[in-house]
């Protein structure tokens, strides 16, 4: 059987480059708690993402949980979000004692359907948590208008949108805050890791308290915080990977362009069109099978037989998770577009070093 092609493959620097980066940790013996690497990565990401404030985290999920906590919404308040996402988005809302209200997505770029947000707003609504799914940006202008009209906070799950810009503006700048994930499978990784970017300077101190036990000095603890700090080895990986990011994105672009050449214009195969005014990051390549000679599950199985792993991402959608079955807002049928997509979508293997011959092999199987 031929070599396995996974759905993704983590970006890594050369072994020697990473060793060089971590060498001085053997001098300092300072491994975590906002050390030199952490500070340097924070500064470099602040610049790269062009954001007024950034706080690093040990993973994206805790970054999202903490930024929601930092907003201090009343328990039981409602948060409008979408179910066409990773478990993390909905869990972060619920673990903060808030109620997720599921809005459907639009069939064009699979982000929140802005025409359906207002009908879900009640006097309990406190925030909107939209997702830049697959790196496709939400309609940030319309969402900003709605948030202003109803006085709601907007926290973007930007886990997929690292490095994406809209009219030249970094994805880190929309809404009140944006969470990025630097998980191994993401476009930019720190092994595990994440960050929150935000506008309100006063959130910095709250986030620092939330991620480090609320400890303010050797003899002062001012806040009931948890622990979500990024360590020095994670930050070192980030410093290395950031050096190679633009080259990685260039390579991803070539892979995506080849997929498009091979799969565009085929009846029953729906590709996500590039967004106007958006500089993408080529994070994922979702394909929707609708009326094609094979359905999604058949394509998934055919690829699997050839040792190629595609991903049913996102299936199931979060409002059909069994852990939410007793929630009054649960039920995939309430978000028909998200349900339709989750039954038909497959994300194909995509990473910087995926060979063009392998893209051809994958397309040959799909078109077979």
Residues that bind ligand PLP (CB under 6 A): 59-61, 85-86, 88-89, 131, 157, 159-160, 181, 183, 194
Provide, rounded to whole angstroms, the least separation between the CB of residue 362 and ligand PLP.
22
Q: How far apart are CA 126 and CA 244, in angstroms?
A: 39
Q: Given the complex with ligand PLP, which of 242 and 266 has the nearer CB atom?
A: 242
The encoded tokens of residue 34 equal 């906002």
- State in angstroms the smallest separation of the CB of 185 from ligand PLP: 7
For ligand PLP, the closer of residues 35 and 194 by Cβ is 194
CB atoms within 10 A of CB 254: 14
**Do β-strands 278-279 and 269-271 pair in parallel, antiparallel, or remain unpaired?**
unpaired
CA distance 163 to 35: 25
Any idea which residue has 């993408």 for tokens?
Answer: 280
CA distance 213 to 265: 54
Q: Which is nearer to ligand PLP, 178 or 181 (CB)?
A: 181
What angle, rounded to 10 degrees, do the helices at 356-367 and 296-305 form?
A: 130
CB of 211 to ligand PLP, least distance (A): 13
Beta strands in 89-227 (DSSP E): 99-102, 125-129, 153-157, 165-166, 169-170, 177-181, 194-198, 215-217, 220-221
Phi, psi of 169 (to 5 degrees): -95, 130
Q: Which of 162, 187, 296 is nearest to 251 (CA)?
A: 187
Distance in Å, CB of 160 to ligand PLP, minimum: 6
Query: 40 and 230 in contact (C-beta within 8 Å)?
Result: no
**Residue number with the smallest Cβ distance to ligand PLP:** 60
- State whether the Cα torsion 119-171-356-354 is positive or negative: negative
Contact between 230 and 193 (Cβ < 8 Å): yes
CB-nearer residue toward ligand PLP: 57 or 289:
57
Q: Which is nearer to ligand PLP, 60 or 349 (CB)?
A: 60
**Residue closer to ligand PLP (CB basis): 160 or 339:** 160
- Distance CA(339)–CA(288), nearest Å, equals 12
Task: Find the shortest distance in angstroms from Cβ 89 to ligand PLP.
Answer: 5
What's the min distance (Å) between Cβ of 238 and ligand PLP? 12
Please identify, using beta-carbon distances, which residue of 73 and 134 lies nearer to ligand PLP. 134
- Compute the least distance from the CB of residue 217 to ligand PLP, in Å: 29
- In the complex, least distance from residue 21 CB atom to ligand PLP, rounded to whole angstroms: 21
Nearer to ligand PLP, 13 or 193 (CB): 193
| Residue closer to ligand PLP, measured from CB, 63 or 256 | 63
Instruction: Supply the minimum distance, in Å, between the C-beta of residue 181 and ligand PLP.
Output: 3
Which ranges of 170-318 would DSSP assign to H, the alpha helix? 203-211, 232-243, 245-263, 296-305
- Tokens encoding 116: 């359906």
What sign for the dihedral angle of Cα 315, 319, 323, 325? Answer: negative
Helix (H) / strand (E) containing 363? helix 356-367
């Amino acid at each position: 059987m031929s070599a396995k092609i996974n759905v993704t493959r983590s970006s890594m620097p050369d072994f020697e480059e990473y060793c060089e980066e971590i060498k001085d940790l053997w001098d300092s013996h300072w491994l975590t708690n906002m050390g030199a690497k952490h500070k340097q990565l924070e500064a470099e990401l602040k610049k790269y993402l062009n954001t007024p404030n950034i706080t690093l985290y040990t993973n994206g999920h805790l970054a999202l949980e903490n930024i929601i906590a930092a907003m201090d919404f009343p328990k039981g308040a409602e948060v409008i979000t979408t179910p066409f996402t990773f478990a993390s988005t909905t869990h972060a809302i619920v673990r903060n004692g808030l109620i997720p209200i599921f809005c459907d997505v639009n069939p064009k770029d699979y982000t929140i359907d802005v025409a359906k947000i207002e009908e879900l707003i009640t006097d309990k609504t406190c925030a909107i948590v939209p997702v830049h799914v697959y790196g496709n940006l939400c309609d940030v202008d319309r969402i900003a208008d709605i948030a202003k009209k109803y006085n709601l906070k907007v926290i973007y799950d930007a886990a997929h949108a690292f490095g994406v810009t809209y009219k030249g503006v970094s994805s880190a700048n929309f809404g009140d805050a944006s969470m990025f994930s630097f998980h191994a499978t993401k476009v930019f990784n720190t092994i595990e890791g994440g960050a929150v970017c935000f506008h309100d300077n006063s959130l910095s101190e709250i986030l620092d308290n939330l991620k480090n036990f609320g400890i303010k000095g050797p003899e002062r603890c001012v806040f009931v915080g948890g622990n979500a700090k990024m360590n020095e080895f994670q930050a070192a990986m980030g410093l290395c990977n950031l050096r190679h990011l633009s080259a990685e994105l260039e390579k991803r672009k070539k892979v995506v362009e080849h997929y498009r050449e091979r799969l565009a214009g085929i009846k029953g195969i729906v590709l996500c069109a590039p967004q106007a005014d958006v500089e993408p990051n080529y994070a994922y390549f979702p394909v929707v099978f609708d009326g094609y000679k094979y359905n999604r599950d058949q394509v998934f199985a055919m690829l699997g037989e050839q040792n190629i792993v595609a991903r049913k991402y996102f299936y199931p959608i979060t409002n059909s998770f069994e852990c939410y079955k007793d929630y009054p807002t649960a039920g995939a049928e309430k978000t028909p577009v998200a349900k339709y997509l989750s039954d038909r979508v497959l994300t194909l293997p995509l990473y910087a070093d995926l060979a063009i011959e392998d893209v051809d092999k994958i397309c040959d199987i799909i078109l077979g």
